[in-house]
Amino acid sequence: MGHTIFGKKLATVAVGSALALAQLAGAPQASRAAELAQPSTAPSGLATIQGQPARPTPHAKTQQEYEDYNAAYGTNGGQAAEKAASDFDAKYPDSELRGYLYSKAMHEYQMENNSGKMLAMSTKVLALDPDNSVALVLTATILADSLRDDDIDRQEKISQIRKFGHHALETVDASFVPPAGASPQQIGAYKNTVRSMAFAAIGMMELKNKDDAGAEKDLKSAADLNSIQPDPLVWYHLALAQHGQKKYSEALASIDRALQNTGSNPDLAALARDEKELLLKATKPSPASMEPPPPGKTPE
């Protein structure tokens, strides 16, 4: 669950539970799949999100494409959904609907907690739709989670995390496709979840890159945007960033927020309890020659 990087015990992001992709993946819900994919000889109309024009509504060009799309969209399981998307892509290389099928495969792999395949599918989505905010934020999250000190391509990963995370923030208003029947309040909450994950990915990268001040700033933004369902991983990493700057009272408050929301995640709860113990030790009077223990690392 955790690993020590730069003296800090970092929790591994549970990508499989990070987003409710059934709502956020950008693929039409089953009830809307047929509606959106219906053949149309007229130019695609513009969808409207909270009164703002969004991207054109996709349509199949023929009845056969429409039927094949719906059959592919109904496929469940990551491997099967990926094959269905790939087969449809090969048969209809110019279809407006290909990205939706790769998004569906991305969601299926997310349900299976298969981050490697999620990354592969999000890459497919972004090749077709570079502004897809969910694929952008998932890519940034997976790359940040996998970032290691000894990565040969470490600097490239860091650049990509920044690029994808910031682009998700730039595009979420225009590119996000809400689920059918979503209220304005729900749409706002979904968008804030995307924004929160973007800031969290950037903040985790900064934490691993020894930029505690930058990490604190971005992780605070992530936490503030997700106040309805607080993410204990965000609060845990925020505590580490604050601990690294010797902001002990702030770090204790953050670790308490993490502990309040660990729920059924015993590994993260154990890391958070260890971090709180270190923070409490750091706040106790000690001889002048003794340095406070570093965050996430038990002193010998």
The confidence score (pLDDT) of residue 110 equals: 87
Strand partners, 10: 3
The confidence score (pLDDT) of residue 13 equals: 55
**Closest to 149 (Cα-Cα) out of 1, 2, 6:** 6
- Distance in angstroms (rounded) separating the CA atoms of residues 115 and 122: 10
Secondary structure letter of residue 292 according to DSSP: P
pLDDT digits over 270-284, tens only? 999 999 999 999 888
- Distance in angstroms (rounded) separating the CA atoms of residues 82 and 86: 6
* Under 8 Å between Cβ of 292 and 279: no
The domains of the chain are located at: 1-23+132-286, 27-129
Residue ranges, the chain, pLDDT below 50: 1-7, 14-23, 25-34, 40-53, 298-300
**Closest to 24 (Cα-Cα) out of 141, 161, 144:** 141
* Global confidence as pTM: 0.82
**Closest to 223 (Cα-Cα) out of 215, 231, 212, 214:** 231
Query: Would you report the helix, strand and coil content of the chain in percent, each value rounded to 5?
Result: 65, 5, 30
Please name the amino acid found at residue 268: L
**Closest to 58 (Cα-Cα) out of 106, 92, 21, 82:** 92
1.25.40.10, 1.10.3660.10, 1.10.1370.30, 3.30.70.260: CATH of 1-23+132-286:
1.25.40.10
**Residue 232: both structure tokens together:** 């204990």
The confidence score (pLDDT) of residue 49 equals: 34
> How many residues does this entry show for the chain?
300
The confidence score (pLDDT) of residue 8 equals: 58
The confidence score (pLDDT) of residue 28 equals: 47
The confidence score (pLDDT) of residue 271 equals: 93
The confidence score (pLDDT) of residue 242 equals: 97
pLDDT digits over 224-237, tens only? 998 778 899 999 99
